[in-house]
Amino acid sequence: MTGLRERTKRAVRAEVVEVARRLFAERGFDETTVDDIVQAAGMSKRSFFRYFAVKEDVVLGEIDFMGERIAAEIAARPAGEDAWTGLHTVLRTWEQRIDDERQALERLRLIESSPSLRARYHQKRDETREQIARAVAARPGLDPFTADLLTAAAGAALDCVARAWARSDGRADRLALVDRAFALFAPTRAGR
C-alpha cells in the first residue's frame, strides 16, 4: 500500500503530464517550454523539477518504473522456463498494456517528432534494457553475453512492432505483431 505522500506525488505528476500533453498537441514538443508548462499547471519551475529531471521526462517518466517492473516480472518467472519464452511472455503483457492505453500512438508520434525527445527516449530505453538484461542474466544457466543478446533481440522485436503499429495508425493487431516478431527471432539453441 502506498502512502499519502506517494499518492499525492503521483497525482501531481499525472496532472502535469496531462497539461503538458495538451500543450504539446497544440504547439509541438520543441516549441513548448518548461515555463509554458508550469504556467499552465499553476506551479513553480522549482516544483516542476522536483517531479521531472528534464522536460522530456514529462513524456517518458514512466519508462523507469516500467523497467523495474519488467525486471521483477522476469525474475519471478518459473526457474525451468527458457529465457526467450519468459521475455516473450512478460513483454507481451506490457505490450498489451501499451495497446490498451488511450494515448500510446500520440506519444509515439510525439517522440518521433522531436530530436531531443527521441534522444532521451533512446537513453532511457537503453537503461531499461540493461536492467532487464541483468534480470535475464540472473536466470539459471545464462551468461551475461547471452542475456544481453536475448534482451537486445527482444528490444529490436518490440521496436519493429511499434513502427508497424504506428504505420497502421494503431489499427494493426499489436499482440499478433509481438508474437510474430518473437517467433521470427526465436533462438534455436542457447537461452532456450
26 and 101 within one domain: no
C-alpha closest to that of 32 among 48, 10, 47: 48
95 and 39 within one domain: no
Task: Output the pLDDT for position 166.
Answer: 87
Task: Output the pLDDT for position 2.
Answer: 65
Task: Output the pLDDT for position 151.
Answer: 95
CATH number, residue 92: 1.10.357.10
Res. 190 pLDDT band, cuts 50 70 90: very low
121 and 170 within one domain: yes
The boundaries of the domain holding residue 47 are: 4-53
CATH number, residue 27: 1.10.10.60
106 and 30 within one domain: no
87-108 per-position pLDDT tens digit? 999 999 988 877 666 677 888 8
Span between the terminal Cα atoms of the chain, in Å:
37
Say if 190 falls within a structural domain.
no
Round the average pLDDT of the chain to a whole number and report it: 89
What is the Cα–Cα distance from 89 to 47, expressed in whole angstroms? 39
63 and 27 within one domain: no
Quote the number of domains for the chain.
Answer: 2
110 and 17 within one domain: no
84 and 33 within one domain: no
Whole-number Cα distances in Å, 15 to 12, 42, 43: 5, 11, 11
81 and 29 within one domain: no
